[in-house]
Chains A and B, each alone.
Chain A
Amino acid sequence: MSQPNKELLLDRLIHEPGRLAILTVLSSVQAADFVFLQRTSGLTKGNLSSHLTKLEDAGLVEIHKRFIGKKPNTNVALTAVGKQRIARHWDQLERLKHLSEPSVQQ
């Protein structure tokens, strides 16, 4: 049996649709808060909270809790590692797409 091409192995932590959406949004900004991420990802707050915890544990995002006025606000930003990993993941998806094109045409 042939060995899988490691270059094309997808990062399972990032490939989950909810986490991919969160990281993609964060890759285009300096930071975004919980409400904005909930709006753009379409996740419930429980799911979003759970995904953010996983991403923070993996060192891909930094979570900063603060108060604005009297309201709690959770601000999220990508770490340097997070930026590299999400960029690499999208590159891999593009490469896979290109690889699949000839077979689709046949």
Chain B
Amino acid sequence: MNQDSENFDSLRQLLALKRHEVPPPGYFDRLPRDVMARIKAGDAGNELGAEISWFRRFLNVFDVKPIFAGAFGTAVCAFLISGVITAERTPAFAAGTITPMDPMANVPATGATTADTQFGVSSNTLASDGSLFDNLPSLRTTPVSYFPGAN
């Protein structure tokens, strides 16, 4: 089957009309100037800032080869789906046995009473005593006597 010549002669004659459609006079003199002006304006912008960002270059690749955009989208979807599946299959997480991290869990249980440990606040303390300031040492003030002529 010769598809090029199969009853399409009249149509091809008509399509020849499209070749006679021309832009306004002088258009092809202006176009390169406009393109160059926009490129220069873009270059000036880049000099003020920096080079084209990595993200911009990344998007440029998609313009040239759209298949990369599809591949990238597929990879992101696959990553998300595998993440969700993995999370659902993890038994500890599913059973709810993983508890939120206790910030004081790793504090060594030594008997030393340094200032740091004295004022450390654990969630247990809060739960039992109910007040954040109950464990603070009471402030006692000792009056100071000053007699200038004593010495």
Q: Do chains A and B interact in one complex? A: no
Give A residues with C-beta under 8 Å from B.
none
